[in-house]
């Protein structure tokens, strides 16, 4: 296995992506936010040496920045991946230890939409604000109670860790609530994942948009009774009334779903 790992942080604004990158590096390489506004506006990368590995950390702007258009944000976040060739070995999907709401689910949906299903093969869920765990509670206990988070972790091959960028910095008394211990385990998990992926990394080709399901329409034309077979993208079918109306011309229409 090559000795350099490229790791991208992803997540909602303010969840602690830049802090995570600092905690992993053990330094202050990335600017941390101190207000409700998004701090990281552009992709930033830094290479550092941690636990015997060269690590390039790529920090991204938060998904859901209310001061920027979706298109602008999307192209900046995609640039974080396409701009650092040949591609990242690992994505950290950063979440806070807190209630998982529709907004968190929307973040996951966006990650899926931007990076396709392949992203989860290269992803690890990393929780920040670990200090919010109850006494004696592990991150596995925390996610057990939430089906959506459990499903996400399952999609990520069961890979899940927790840190607290603020309170677990020098916690020598607790083996679990200790960033050094958690970072070591996180990096081991990433190494195992890279091995499972046979040293491959996420490539730009995987960025292709999700394929649009299509409707197959087969029937007999009312006017000349000839057989007609047609396909329409499902999204177009839903948006475009003329396509929907056209399908109404068929008699005995059979519908089937597939992917273009």
Residue 19 interacting entry, from Mg ion, ligand GTP, none, C-beta within 5 to 8 Å by type: ligand GTP
Q: What share of the chain is helix, strand, coil (3-state, %, to 5)?
A: 35, 25, 40
Considering the complex, state which of residue 25 and residue 178 has its C-beta at the smaller distance from Mg ion: 25
> Strand, coil or helix: what is 178?
coil
| Nearest to 176, CA basis, from 190, 166, 188, 164 | 164
- Cβ neighbours, 10 Å, residue 190: 21
Phi and psi, residue 173, nearest 5°:
-80, -20
Q: Which does 164 bind (CB under 5 to 8 A by kind): Mg ion, ligand GTP, none?
A: ligand GTP
Structure tokens at 14: 């303010």
- Residue 165 burial (CB count, 10 A): 19
Please report how close the Cβ of residue 123 comes to ligand GTP at its closest, in angstroms.
16
Question: Is 179 an interacting residue with respect to ligand GTP (CB under 6 A)?
Answer: no
Q: How far is the CB of 35 from ligand GTP (least distance, A)?
A: 8
Question: Should residue 13 be labelled a site residue for ligand GTP when binding is judged by CB under 6 A?
Answer: yes
With CA atoms as reference, report the closest residue to 183 among 163, 211, 168, 207.
163
Strands (E), 139-241: 160-162, 213-221, 227-233
Q: Is 178 in the site for ligand GTP (CB under 6 A)?
A: no
Give 96's DSSP letter: E
13 binds, among ligand GTP, Mg ion, none (CB under 5 to 8 A by kind): ligand GTP
Closest CB to ligand GTP among residues 114, 250: 114
Of 20 and 193, CB closest to Mg ion: 20
189 near ligand GTP, rule: CB under 6 A: no
Binding map of ligand GTP across residues 71-110, x = CB under 6 A, - = no contact: ----------------------------------------
Q: Which residues bind ligand GTP (CB under 6 A)?
A: 13-19, 32-34, 38-40, 61-62, 128-129, 164-167
């Amino acid at each position: 296995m090559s000795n350099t790992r490229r790791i991208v942080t992803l997540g909602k604004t303010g969840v602690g992506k830049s802090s995570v990158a600092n905690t992993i590096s053990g330094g202050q390489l990335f600017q941390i936010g101190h207000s409700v506004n998004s701090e990281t506006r552009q992709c930033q990368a830094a290479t550092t040496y941690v636990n015997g590995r060269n690590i390039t950390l790529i920090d991204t702007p938060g998904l859901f920045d209310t001061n920027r258009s979706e298109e602008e944000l999307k192209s900046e976040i995609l640039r974080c991946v396409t701009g650092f060739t040949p591609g990242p070995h690992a994505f950290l999907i950063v979440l806070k230890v807190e209630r998982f709401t529709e907004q968190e689910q929307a973040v996951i949906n966006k990650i899926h939409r931007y990076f396709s299903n392949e992203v989860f093969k290269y992803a690890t869920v990393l929780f920040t604000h670990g200090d919010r765990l109850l006494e004696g509670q592990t991150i596995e206990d925390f996610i057990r109670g939430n089906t959506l988070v459990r499903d996400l972790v399952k999609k990520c091959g069961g890979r899940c860790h927790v840190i607290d960028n603020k309170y677990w910095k020098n916690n020598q008394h607790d083996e679990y609530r200790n960033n050094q211990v958690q970072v070591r385990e996180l990096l081991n998990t990433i190494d195992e994942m890279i091995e499972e992926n046979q040293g491959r990394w996420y490539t730009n080709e995987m960025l292709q948009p999700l394929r649009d399901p299509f409707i197959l329409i087969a029937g007999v034309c009312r006017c000349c009774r000839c057989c007609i077979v047609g396909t329409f993208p499902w999204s177009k079918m839903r948006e475009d009334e003329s396509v929907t109306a056209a399908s109404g011309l068929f008699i005995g229409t059979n519908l089937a779903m597939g992917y273009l």
